[in-house]
Amino acid sequence: MKKNLSDKTVVITGGTSRLGHSFVHRALREGARVHFTFYQNKSKAEDLIRAGATGHEVDLASMESLNRFIQEIRAAMSGLDVLIHNAAACRDHTVQNLSEEDWDYVMNVNLKAVYYLTKKLLPLLFKKKPAKVFMLTSRVALRGAYGTANYAAAKAGLIALAKSLAMELGRKKILVNAVNPGFMHSAMTVDLPRTAIERNIELNPLKEYSNPDEVAAFLSYLCGDEMNQVTGQVFHWEGRETIL
């Protein structure tokens, strides 16, 4: 039986994230050739490389590092089926205490790098019909969140960027969508204050964390040949009330 991602080339940032790690393993099982980025987590990166993926050490806040990564990707492939912007960074403070440096860092990693990578990899995406771009957003993009305005603003920016790109690239058969994976147990959330964790779980009608493995399976489905007509949308791995 043909695998869902046979012959697809996928680039995902943050392969070492909780969600990214699950997705990369699944995409490999589904037959994809996968290139992923990592930043500091070398042991998780080595695990993915052993499984068959190609790892790239990238600091998404650094233009020099980004440009090096783009050269590596251009040298490695002649066309790109799927680009997933999944890596993300937080530097949480209330706005009153938020430095410009922390504002810029989060914007650069979570939003500017997404614009820049997409723009620079478009020639490779144009070689495939359809090609797909996904951006990992968050419920906080729509709700806001106490003490993480920089992250929330960047994630809201991703939704506007995805919708705008969907309009600009539709005729070229490039689909651009955002995915909100819900509240997951990961490096990003593990050190949140207990009250914040409880509040986030309470927002889910099922009163539980989102399961990154299920989100990865959904993302893998979206990357495959059975989804060719949806663009400019935000998929929420959430209950209805959560995103109002």
* Cα distance between residue 95 and residue 3, in whole Å: 47
Is residue 181 a contact residue for ligand NAP (CB under 6 A)?
Answer: yes
In eight-state DSSP terms, residue 14 is -
Is residue 184 a contact residue for ligand NAP (CB under 6 A)?
Answer: yes
Shortest spacing between CB 4 and ligand NAP, in angstroms: 21
* Cα distance between residue 223 and residue 227, in whole Å: 7
Is residue 83 a contact residue for ligand NAP (CB under 6 A)?
Answer: no
Q: In the β-sheet with 54-57, what is the strand arrangement from edge to edge? A: 54-57, 33-38, 9-12, 82-85, 131-136, 174-180, 234-236
Binding segment for ligand NAP (CB under 6 A), chosen from 24-32, 38-46, 160-168, 226-234, is: 38-46
Is residue 237 a contact residue for ligand NAP (CB under 6 A)?
Answer: no
The CB density around residue 53, as the number of other CB atoms within 10 Å, is 21
Binding mask 86-125 for ligand NAP (x = CB under 6 A): xxxx-------------------x----------------
Query: DSSP letters along 163-200, please?
Result: HHHHHHHGGGTEEEEEEE--SB-STTTTTS-HHHHHHH
Size of the site for ligand NAP (CB under 6 A): 29
- Residues at the contact surface with ligand NAP, assessed by CB under 6 A: 14, 16-20, 37-41, 58-61, 86-89, 109, 136, 138, 181, 183-184, 186-189
